[in-house]
Amino acid sequence: VSERAKLVRVLSGEVVEPPPVWIMRQAGRYLPEYRKTREKAGSFLDLCFTPELAAEVTLQPVRRFDLDAAILFSDILVIPLALGQSVRFEEGQGPVLSPAPIDSVALDPSRVAEKLAPIFETVRLTRAVLPRDKALIGFCGAPWTVATYMIAGRGSAEHLPARRLALEEPARFQALIDMIVDASVDYLTGQIDAGADIVKIFDSWAGVLDAEGFERWAITPVRSIVERVKAMHPRVPIIGFPRGAGARVGAFARETGVDGVAIDWTLPMRDACELVPASMALQGNLDPLRLVVGGAALDAGVDSILRVMRGRPHIFNLGHGITPDTPVENVARLVARVRGKVAD
């Protein structure tokens, strides 16, 4: 009988001390071994679709820092790609999608699983070598966040193009969201069938929505994905990340059916504890800048989160992704600090 990964235990409501730790965007440019593999692959998307290399970069941070979880190396924007929208990643300026805005009638939902097969192979290769006590996290973007890129064609401040379309042509926007929901269910179940232990839904741009928009475009589509994935895989825990939701994490936690909620660094963990039912796992929420700066700023940030979260089901993480300018030695310091004794 294999040992259940600590992350899985926490997501079933167990308190594990010290808490398990992993880092959002833990495979990436701050790591010299990542930059080397990335160069070998060519483009970022070539790396995502070459299973041997993607599995290698998935494992690199776990090997170096002995983290409690690996997260599949892929991207949320492989969904528009699998639906037939063109996606490129331009050096230094992020993703470019075309044509944009795109309408659901211009997309082809029939070949999503087939197009994503290399990514499922990455999961298989990774799970085969990852120690059993480490969780493998699969993921997708939440439909709202994916739609913001499909409509604007790139990352956009305030996400005005998608917000505007949702208000002006809600039926048309709903059809796009529904198509992303279907594709995301295929993406997640393909990862679970290939060996993912946990899945996470990233709603990185949930915070720009108003009250009605948050219910309709953040909560409802995530609830559909959770219901459908859980109907097939009731024992696989799901983490939601409604970034920027503030006090609305309470509604998100209660209404979507997720097992755990990732908290961004702007919400005090103390507030998250009051907003979210006590049996639910919380993940987070160190400011990534404290990890860049290191030293006392890092230690104080870690200690204060550990103190607040003592006695609650908690997964230690950053409040958003690690940035490329992060010194590698600060990551090692973070992991040691989380696992060491906390001075009162």
Terminal Cα distance for the chain, rounded: 38
Contact 154, 92 (CB under 8 A): no
Q: Is 4 assigned a catalytic role?
A: no
Q: Is 9 assigned a catalytic role?
A: no
Q: CB nearer to ligand 1CP: give 47 or 273.
A: 47
Shortest Å, Cβ 282 to ligand 1CP: 18
Neighbours of 277 (CB within 10 A): 11
Q: Give me the phi and psi of 261, to 5 degrees please.
A: -125, 130
Tokens of 282: 């919380």
- The answer to whether residue 51 forms part of the interface with ligand 1CP (CB under 6 A) is no
Strand partners, 140: 201
The C-alpha angle with vertex 138 and arms to 132 and 143, in degrees rounded to 5, equals 165
Options 30, 34, 149, 187, the catalytic residue: 149
Options 9, 30, 34, 75, the catalytic residue: 75
Q: CB nearer to ligand 1CP: give 79 or 305.
A: 79
Nearest to 142 by CA among 42, 57, 258: 258
Q: Is 29 assigned a catalytic role?
A: yes
Q: CB nearer to ligand 1CP: give 242 or 273.
A: 242
Q: Quick one: which segment of 138-146, 217-225, 308-316, 331-339 binds ligand 1CP (CB under 6 A)?
A: 138-146
Contact 103, 172 (CB under 8 A): yes
| Residue 68 DSSP code | S
Could you give the string, one character per residue 11-40, with x where binding to ligand 1CP holds by CB under 6 A and - elsewhere?
-------------xxxxxx--------x--
CA distance 343 to 102: 54
Nearest to 319 by CA among 276, 289, 296, 339: 289
Could you give the string, one character per residue 187-216, with x where binding to ligand 1CP holds by CB under 6 A and - elsewhere?
---------------x-x------------
Q: Is 310 assigned a catalytic role?
A: no
Q: Is 132 assigned a catalytic role?
A: no
Shortest Å, Cβ 155 to ligand 1CP: 2
Could you give the string, one character per residue 155-184, with x where binding to ligand 1CP holds by CB under 6 A and - elsewhere?
x-----------------------------
Give the active site residues. Answer: 25, 29, 38, 75, 149
